Amino acid sequence: MASIKDIAKLCGVSVATVSKALNDKADIGEDTKRHIKEVAKQMGYFPQYYARAIRMNKSFNIGVLFVDESMSGLTHDYFSNILNSFKVTAEGRGYDITFINSNKKYKKSKTFLEHCRYRGLDGVVIACIDFGNPEVLELIESDIPLVTIDQKFEGRVSVLSNNFEGMHQLVEYIISMGHKRIAYISGDDTAVTRLRIESFYHTMGKHGLDVPEEYHLSSEYRNLQKAGEYTRQLLQLPLPPTCIMYSDDYSAMGGISQIKSMGLRIPEDISVAGYDDIFIAGQLQPRLTTVHQDTELLGKKAAEKLIALIEKKRNVSTRPTVVNSTLEKGASVGQLVQD
């Protein structure tokens, strides 16, 4: 394998200049830096990461603890997009990513914390998991630098999507379209779900609109079958809603399928809305009304915060970083002339 001395000789510069270029030091011109890196790449040079890790007492490895109740893993559009952004940002800063096994079926005897220590992880990001799990709480209470996504803990750094405001925008829009009878099929009992439910009732109450008990049904995220069953249940009420909101776009697809099987049209006969603005939402006809969550920024912020904690470059505030959502009006919520 080529050495720094070999690169320096070929480039006609000093060993110190090559070292600075490969470590992205600011006192090297960008053109020189780019040239040296290209030569290093052509010569098959790879930095001595193990030596650097020993010298800096770091592994340059970040753990990702990620699973959801439905065990959909990285097929979960919202979280997979966040984690992809997290991965790109972290790798751009020289860190590798290790997934921490959270599947009890295959898990060894090590706890999450023991796994992190065994791997020598510099830090951990935790997303889409049961935050009440004793092993998760043990990890959160440890001295390992970590960032949580969509869940906050005292003294810990968190990055949150603004679920309260996102739901508020959605309900406000549906009401502005003339709807008063609005039903909500919410997801699993999590902090995110509770915030959205609170926002739903708050916004309805602000407009003096009641929410009959039968209009709010608790389901599971990404459960097409339950979404379909509950949609039929709502539409068979003596006074059915004019609009049904779903916990996520995937669940909305289950509801839409049921609506079509009943011979009803969207939005002429019944309006629907989702949440997350996953790729499929833009492909549906009519285009699904939903809330777009900035997954790229969420992942980027989580990586930046965690690396700042690891590198101790500055005091990192434990005040939650909140990323705003935007309303995607779509065409699945129709305008009611009269109700």
User: In the prediction, which pLDDT does 313 show?
Assistant: 66
- Give the integer Cα–Cα distance in Å for 120 and 114: 10
Burial of 110 (0-12, 13-18, 19+ CB in 10 A): middle
Q: What is the mean pLDDT of the chain?
A: 88
Q: Which of 93, 161, 144 is nearest to 299 (CA)?
A: 161
Q: For residue 154, how many other CB atoms are within 10 A of its CB?
A: 6
Beta strands 325-328; 290-293: pairing state:
antiparallel
Question: Residue 46 — pLDDT band, cuts 50, 70, 90?
Answer: low
Question: Residue 108 — pLDDT band, cuts 50, 70, 90?
Answer: low
User: In the prediction, which pLDDT does 338 show?
Assistant: 61
- Give the integer Cα–Cα distance in Å for 68 and 190: 11
pTM greater than 0.75: yes
Q: What is the pLDDT of residues 127-159, one digit of tens each?
A: 877 788 899 999 999 999 999 999 999 999 999
User: In the prediction, which pLDDT does 314 show?
Assistant: 67
Q: Confirm or reject CATH 3.40.50.2300 for domain 163-293, answering yes or no.
A: yes
Whether the per-residue pLDDT at 82 is higher than 60: the answer is yes
Task: Give the CATH H-level superfamily of domain 61-161+295-324.
Answer: Response regulator (3.40.50.2300)
User: In the prediction, which pLDDT does 101 show?
Assistant: 64
Q: Which CATH class is domain 4-47?
A: mainly alpha
Q: For residue 58, how many other CB atoms are within 10 A of its CB?
A: 17
Distance in angstroms between the alpha carbons of the first and the last residue of the chain = 75
- Give the integer Cα–Cα distance in Å for 298 and 149: 8
User: In the prediction, which pLDDT does 230 show?
Assistant: 97
Q: What is the pLDDT of residues 91-101, one digit of tens each?
A: 998 899 988 86
Q: Which of 146, 189, 211, 192 is nearest to 291 (CA)?
A: 192
| 61-161+295-324 shares the fold of 4-47 | no
On whether the CB atoms of residues 163 and 324 are closer than 8 A, the answer is no
Domain boundaries, the chain: 4-47, 61-161+295-324, 163-293
Q: Which of 254, 252, 241 is nearest to 274 (CA)?
A: 252
Q: For residue 207, how many other CB atoms are within 10 A of its CB?
A: 11
Is residue 116 classed as helix, strand or coil in its secondary structure? helix
Whether the per-residue pLDDT at 21 is higher than 60: the answer is yes
